[in-house]
A = this chain, B = another copy of it.
Amino acid sequence: MKLQKPYLLFVGDARDDLAAKTAFGVLDWSKDDCIGQFKLPGCASSLNLPELSMAEAAQQGAKTVLIGVAVPGGRIPESWTAPMVEALRRDMSIANGLHTPLDSIAEIRAAAASSEGELLEIREPPENLPVGKGTYRSGHRLLTVGSDCSVGKMYSALAITKELESRNIEVDFRATGQTGIFIAGSGIPVDAVVADFISGSIEQLCPAAPDSHWDVIEGQGALHHPSFAGVSLGLLHGAQPDALVLCHEPTRTNMRGLPNQPMPDLSDVMELYLASARIVCENTRFVGISVNTKHVEESNRIDLLGQLEKCYQLPAVDPFVTGVKELVDHLI
């Protein structure tokens, strides 16, 4: 899956900034790829970007309209049809990460048929994915893994990628979820892949590379999360990582979405990741802990990171607060 840049960010009639979370994520990490935003009447969110019509965006060279807004229940509002049709008439592609495919709307489907632009359904994995083989491949790979879901795995991977780039190390960010794919312009929606092909899809995503090169791979789910652990394990095997970064949110009392599932001990978490990773890469090691301290009192954040460092003998950072320099120092 490959998206053409630059992007026009479509925020539609977002009822607040949270609804436009995807657009904000793309803007945070790929500002240079975004030439403007498109809003509908009633939109209550605003990105710090010029507001453009579809005609203006096309004229200024936008290649792809990214749907950067969530919709309640996943249903695409009727008010979106006219601008989507207009975008296709101007030969821009539309990248959609919502559950509802755009071609389920007859007018959009018809417009796409006579457009040079394409409807890119981010949640539909490519066909003919291979079965994973676990065969050794060259190049270095780092995978961000979680003590739980939604603990900052994408954010950490992007921050590490940026830090490696700033040190002139050859690096690619490898996206495995919707927002990551928008940011990278390519990737694989691994949670939508058929179960037999999870590890194979990741082997394809981060192929053999020169030994001077790092792939920094966005993790998904968590080995201790009973809803999604299968995805996390297949991803881990496909990634064949030299280095793991443990992402963690220290204020959680239970696994996300599962009130009765207690948070596991971090030592157990690391042990299970290592035991599972060593099946495909015997030297896998943790190189740091990336903590989302957003919900920790500000005065306690640095102390908490210090405690984790001492306890696990690994750099503990909050990419948002301390940056990831210390972690990358330890990595290389």
Contact = CB atoms under 8 A, between A and B. Distances in A.
A198 interface: yes
Contact of A279 (B192, B194, B224): B224
B227 A132 contact: yes
Taking each of A133, A191, A268, which has the highest tally of chain B beta carbons within 10 Å of its own beta carbon? A133
Contacts of A275: 268, 271-272, 275
A247 to B, nearest CB: 18
B195 A234 contact: yes
Nearest to A192: B194
Contact of A192 (B196, B226, B238, B258): B196
A195 B190 contact: yes
Interface string A180-223: 00000000001111111011100000000000000000000001
Contacts of A230: 195, 198-199, 230-235, 237
A235 B231 CA distance: 11
Nearest to A281: B226
A129 to B, nearest CB: 11
A279 to B, nearest CB: 5
A83 to B, nearest CB: 30
A194 B193 contact: yes
20 contacts: A133-B258, A136-B260, A192-B195, A193-B194, A194-B194, A196-B227, A199-B226, A199-B227, A223-B233, A223-B276, A223-B279, A226-B237, A226-B238, A229-B234, A229-B276, A229-B279, A230-B230, A230-B237, A268-B275, A272-B276
